[in-house]
Each structure stands twice: as C-alpha cells, then as structure tokens.
Amino acid sequence: QVQPAESGGDSVRAGGSLRLSCTATRSWEIIAPYRMAWFRQFPGKEREGVAAIDSNGFTNYADSVKGRFIISKDSALNFYLEMNSLKPEDSGVYYCALGGGTGSILVDNWYTDWGQGTKVSVSS
C-alpha cells in the first residue's frame, strides 16, 4: 500500500492562513490521467471533499471554501492546499488523496491512496 504524506496542519486564529502539503510516494504521471484532492473530517461527521485538481490542472472546490482555499500541484508527486481567511468551522483532520482517472471529483470513493491526515485547528 502506497500512502501519501501530509504536512502543514497547525493551530491558528480565525482569519489566519495555513498551507497544507501532500507528497505522493509514487509518481502518478506513470498512470496519468490522475486526480489529487483534499478531504476533511470533523468529529462525529462524515469525511467531505474540500478541493480537487486533475492532471490537466482543472480544479473543483466545495462551496464552503470557494474564494478562500486554493489547490495547486507542482508535479505528479506534490500538491498543496492554501487555506486563507480560516474560520473555526474549518477545524478538522485534513486528508490528501490520489486516484487515477480524469476530472477533479470531490467524492472519496474515486481515490485509492490516502494519507494519515493532518490536524487543523482554528480558534475564534
């Protein structure tokens, strides 16, 4: 099982910013097309899609983060989530995920490789 690794989770005040990073353990260019995404999970709730990007660079965002979060990639190994104007309701565990196929989909069963998660805490 290849597992990507997230980093960048931290505790910040509302209005602050964080940048999450994800490094894949295998290059998805080998099996392009591919998609990369960030999901998050709040205590007691189901995991939800936050942002996704595919190998063509097309992005997709959850309505709750549009205009505040930016997903980007610099290769088939590394991608990022820039989170700005953070709110307490953004707190949770953030997971990066990778999968084969086209489209920047925010549904978790389209992804096969999942990280362990990184915690984001936003205080008011």
pLDDT at 53: 95
Mean pLDDT computed over 9-27? 93
User: Which of these, 104, 46, 99, lies nearest to 71 by C-alpha position?
Assistant: 104
pLDDT value at residue 59: 97
24 or 29, which is more confident? Answer: 24
Q: What is the pLDDT of residue 43?
A: 87
Residue 25: the pLDDT is 80
Collapsing DSSP states into helix, strand and coil, what is residue 16?
A: coil
Q: What is the pLDDT of residue 77?
A: 83
Please give the pLDDT value at position 123: 97
Strand, helix or coil at 65? helix
Query: What pLDDT, in 10s, does the model give residues 86-122?
Result: 999 999 999 999 998 888 999 999 999 999 999 999 9
- For the stretch 25-74, pLDDT in tens is 877 666 678 899 999 999 899 999 999 999 899 999 999 999 999 999 98
